[in-house]
Amino acid sequence: MAHGGSAVGRHEGRAVFVPFGIPGETVRARITQDKGRFARAEVIEVLEAAPIRVQARCKHFGQCGGCHGQHIAYEAQLAFKRQVVADQLGRIGGLRDVMVHPTLPSPDPYGYRSHVTFHVAVGGRLGFVSANDRTVLPIDECHIIRDELAAVSFQSSVTSSPILLQTGEGSRVRVQVGSEGAPIVFPMDTDDDDESYSAESSDLSADSVRYTIKGHSFRCSAGSFFQVNLPQAEKLVELVLDRLALKGDERVLDLYSGVGLFTAFLAEKAAGVAAVEAFPLAVEDAAFNLEAFDNIDLYEGTIEAVLPSLEGNFAAAVVDPPRSGMDTPALNALIKRAPERLVYVSCDPATLARDAKKLIANGYILRDVQPVDMFPQTYHIESVAHFMRG
């Protein structure tokens, strides 16, 4: 299984990447893109199915680009994700002897997403980008979003795109139409009929939702990042704290700190936390979420701009970058600060491998990597990588 969700077969000596195929089975496939040294293909017929092939739950699976693995038994999805992490560390990072633990499963492999972005298909129906990555596929069911979102998603036609939906505490749903549109919050009451979702009963002034993680409530405004799988977000917090093993006298860096998810828990265990975030709305949310703490310094700006200005040493650091990983100036600034312990929370094993290679070249040892299934039924993989200065 390749990173990106395609099974890899061989034909006449070259690799062929086949979405919705499974290693260990025989399929008849049609070439869709000939790249010379490799090709991409689509499954026409499954001739001999792998034992782990299952019936997909969603009728849109295979056409919708939102899911990539509903045809694979969940335990096998977890195993493939572990293999992909190890493979990327080896191929890109040259790290072939790293301990990669079995992937931590999601408590529920369906119905886990707490926020989602729809696009508008022809006729005003909501949909997702199709598997061919060229059109919007109108849908009338989705099994990976939470029930509160599904109840709102397929009720009416709209003209503006995108449509952002978030659900948080109290099972309320925040709907934003268009990237700059006014938010609409639908109160959810399962005892009422569909009229309970009308705009007339909505709180139009609400511009955020709240999430509770391990007893801490976090306000999250539109555009601010928060993990989509809340039970797995709790696992991430536990893994970060376990790897850092703070004793209480350390100063800690929290980079790409967002609305303060890790910051709040680090502050309970450390003498002080310096949290760095570039997105202004997320910094405002963090200031609100962390106001009870007096040992946190919040900085709005890029990592390469902020880190050189900080005084003193930092014993530990947490980084949670976007899928593109840490850019070169940010990674150089972190290496110069030289924290003894470093936990890297990654949502892309390829960029994790790239950044790990540079960290190791600058004196760090990669102790272990723990994959976490934040996104069941998709190829996306969250990982927690633990580094120590050698």
Active-site residue numbers?
347
Half-sphere exposure (Cβ direction) of 125: Cα atoms closer than 13 Å? 12
Of 319, 377, 320, 380, the C-alpha closest to 348 is 380
- Bridge partners (DSSP) listed for residue 217: 212
> What are 351's two structure tokens?
């960029």
Residues in contact with 236: Cβ distance below 8 Å, sequence separation at least 6, in sequence order = 227, 262, 345, 372, 374, 382, 384
> What are 50's two structure tokens?
């792998």
Query: Could you give the 3-state DSSP secondary structure of residue 310?
Result: coil
Please state, as a whole number, how many other Cβ atoms lie within 10 Å of the Cβ of residue 132: 12
CB 164 within 8 A of CB 117: yes
The kind and range of the H/E element at 30 are: strand 26-34
CA 348 – CA 97 distance, rounded (Å): 19
